[in-house]
Amino acid sequence: MLTRRLILTAAIAAPAAALLNRPAMAAEPEVFSVDDIAIRGTDPVAYFTQGAPMAGSPEHALMWQGTTWHFASAENMELFMANPEAYAPQYGGYCAFAMSKGYVATSVPEAWTVHEDKLYLNYSVNVRQVWLEDVPGNIVLADGNWPTALG
């Protein structure tokens, strides 16, 4: 018997599931960016130093891996320049959960996890909750799909 709650839940979940279950149609760039800016302008170093996403600034910007990265301060930009792989999100900033399923999906700065000194981003806060159910297992799966899932 279908309940109203079940129908509403399915209606809300269907668009996200469709996005996560779509194959990459064309080769995606190695780093997810919006308007050629990584992490939607969020400072990647702040996740580690502040424990939270912080807006970066065009005043503190640099090019790396074919896209522009913004930072909240010159100090954070220098930390990134010294070791970008330590601060850049895994899987080019694409959704880590989608990558664990072999697909490519966008991400948002608010849906983040630092696990074993690595930054992972997800499509949404709700998808992040599913990612958190088995972070180590999801990482193993995503590592196996990266970067071939880009197409």
Q: Dihedrals φ, ψ of 113, to 5°? A: -145, 135
- Confidence tier at 58 by pLDDT (50, 70, 90): very high
- The full set of domain ranges for the chain reads 26-150
- Among 13-27, 94-108, 132-146, whose mean pLDDT is lowest? 13-27
Task: Average the pLDDT over 15-35 and give the result.
Answer: 68
Provide the β-strand partners of residue 90: none
CB 118 within 8 A of CB 90: yes
Query: CA-CA distance, 67 to 80, in Å (whole number)?
Result: 14
Average pLDDT value for the chain: 89
pTM: 0.83
Task: Average the pLDDT over 71-89 and give the result.
Answer: 98
Query: CA-CA distance, 13 to 90, in Å (whole number)?
Result: 25
- Confidence tier at 27 by pLDDT (50, 70, 90): confident
Residue 21 has pLDDT above 80, yes or no: no
User: pLDDT per residue over 118-151, tens digit each?
Assistant: 999 999 999 999 999 999 999 999 999 999 999 9
Residue 83 has pLDDT above 70, yes or no: yes
- Confidence tier at 26 by pLDDT (50, 70, 90): low
End-to-end CA distance of the chain: give it in Å, rounded. 41
Residue type, 73: S
